[in-house]
């Protein structure tokens, strides 16, 4: 079969999965009882009146997120190398080694900068 057609197959699969998901959510929304109340609709805060703003979080999570984006993109560069490593031979390996060492160096630097220190 045409290799590109396989992507269409994946898309069809995703479409059917999403349709079943929508059907499930709608079924739940339509069949359940509807008796909302002020306390029932309030955010759960261990039984207390909800207070304050619930959209703020420590900047630390941003650092971890950014670190992930960087490393994930760098690992993504290794995928094409991995498929062709046999053909590229030792010259290709030298390039991959250099690339990976830079990656590890970056990780070491971030570590020393204290990105993984959560108790500060």
Partner 1 sequence: MLWQLFVTAVKALVLILALLFTFAYITWIMRRGLARFQVRLGPNRVGPAGLLQPIADAVKAIFKEDLTVARADRVLYWLAPLIAFTFALAAFAVIPVGPDGWVVANLDMGVLYVFAVSELAVYGIFLAGWASGSKYPLMGGLRSIAALVGYELALGMAILPVVLMAGSLNLQDIVAWQQTHGYFILWQFPAFLVYFVASLAEMSRTPFDFAEAEQELVAGFHTEYASMKFVSFYIAELLHWITGSALIATLFLGGWAAPFGLPQIPVLWLFLKWAIFIFLVLWIWASWFRTRYDQMIRFAWGVLLPAATVWFLITAYYVAKGGAL
Interactions with partner 1, residue window 18-37 (CB under 8 A): 18, 20-22, 24-25, 27-29, 31-36
Q: How far apart are CA 102 and CA 114, in angstroms?
A: 19
Inter-residue contact 54 to 43 (CB < 8 Å): yes
17 binds partner 1, rule: CB under 8 A: yes
Helix, strand, coil proportions of the chain in percent (round to 5)? 70, 0, 30
Nearest Cα to 74, choosing from 93, 102, 94, 95? Answer: 102
Q: Which of 49, 68, 105, 109 binds partner 1 (CB under 8 A)?
A: 68
Q: Which residues ranging from 82 to 101 are in contact with partner 1 (CB under 8 A)?
A: 82-86, 88-90, 92-93, 96-97, 100
The C-alpha atoms of residue 73 and residue 92 are separated, in whole angstroms, by: 19
Verify binding: residue 102, partner 1, rule CB under 8 A. Answer: no
Least distance (Å) between residue 74 CB and partner 1: 9
Binding mask 35-64 for partner 1 (x = CB under 8 A): xx-x-xxxxxxx---x-x-xx-x---x--x
Q: Can you tell me the distance from the alpha carbon of 21 to that of 91, in angstroms, rounded to the nearest whole number?
A: 49
**Minimum distance of partner 1 from residue 4's CB (angstroms):** 10
């Amino acid at each position: 079969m045409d290799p590109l057609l396989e992507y269409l197959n994946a898309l069809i699969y995703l479409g059917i999965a999403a349709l079943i998901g929508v059907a499930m959510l709608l079924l739940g929304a339509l069949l359940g009882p509807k008796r909302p109340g002020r306390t029932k609709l309030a955010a759960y805060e261990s039984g207390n009146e909800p207070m304050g703003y619930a959209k703020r979080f420590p900047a630390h999570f941003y650092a971890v997120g950014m670190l992930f984006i960087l490393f994930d993109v760098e690992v993504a560069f290794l995928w094409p190398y991995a498929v062709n490593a046999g053909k590229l031979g030792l010259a290709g390996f030298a390039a991959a080694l250099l690339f990976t060492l830079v990656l590890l160096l970056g990780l070491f630097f971030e570590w020393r900068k204290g990105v993984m220190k959560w108790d500060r």
